[in-house]
């Protein structure tokens, strides 16, 4: 009986590892859509938003890439409206749509934050600017 040893591999893995972030040009190439389309989708789909580097370049996460590819697939199928695509992607990716907030509740929350920040500034010995 021969002792079979596996052949040595030159590379540890033949598949490329998924990256943590992708530059906009990589996303354009992977998704086969242009930058203007990506920007329009960012405006249309609130859960899709590119991050920005310190020098202002856009980047996307792997989850964003998956969402972009799914949006493109649904648009090509022409089976959903934009609102339908938004709901479908939210459902498939477990994204929660933002619930509308009553303006008075938002105003009250902002006033509370302002007051707390003023108290914090006063405790640090700095007087906040009055508006």
What's the whole-number mean pLDDT along residues 99-106? Answer: 82
10 Å CB burial of residue 13 (0-12, 13-18, 19+) is exposed
pLDDT above 90 covers a percentage of the chain that reads 51
* pLDDT tens-place string over residues 71-102: 999 999 988 899 999 999 998 888 876 677 78
Instruction: Give yes or no for residue 8 having a pLDDT over 70.
Output: no
One CATH from 1.10.10.10, 1.25.40.10, 1.10.1660.10, 1.10.10.970 for 21-92: 1.10.1660.10
23 pLDDT band (50/70/90 cuts)?
very high
| Per-domain residue ranges of the chain | 21-92, 100-131
pLDDT at 10: 56
What is the pLDDT, as a whole number, of residue 1?
52
Query: What's residue 84's pLDDT?
Result: 92
* Low-confidence winner among 33-37, 97-101, 123-127 (lowest mean pLDDT): 97-101
Sheet containing 51-52, strands listed edge to edge, beginning at the edge strand earlier in sequence: 21-23, 58-61, 51-52
Average of pLDDT values for 99-116? 89
Predicted confidence at residue 100, as pLDDT, reads 76
User: How buried is 85 (Cβ within 10 angstroms: 0-12 exposed, 13-18 middle, 19+ buried)?
Assistant: buried
Q: State the average pLDDT for the chain.
A: 84
What pLDDT sits at residue 4? 59
Q: Is the pLDDT of residue 35 over 70?
A: yes
């Amino acid at each position: 009986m021969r002792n079979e040893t596996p052949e040595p591999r030159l590379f540890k893995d033949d598949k490329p590892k998924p990256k943590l972030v992708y530059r906009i040009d990589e996303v354009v190439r992977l998704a086969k859509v242009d930058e203007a389309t990506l920007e329009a989708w960012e405006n249309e789909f609130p859960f899709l938003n590119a991050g920005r580097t310190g020098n202002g370049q856009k980047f996307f996460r792997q989850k964003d890439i998956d969402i972009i590819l799914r949006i493109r697939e649904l648009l090509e199928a022409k089976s959903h409206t934009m609102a339908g695509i938004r709901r479908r992607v939210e459902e498939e990716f477990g994204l929660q749509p933002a619930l509308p907030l009553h303006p008075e509740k938002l105003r009250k929350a902002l006033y509370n934050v302002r007051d707390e920040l003023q108290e914090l500034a006063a405790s640090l010995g700095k007087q906040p600017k009055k508006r």
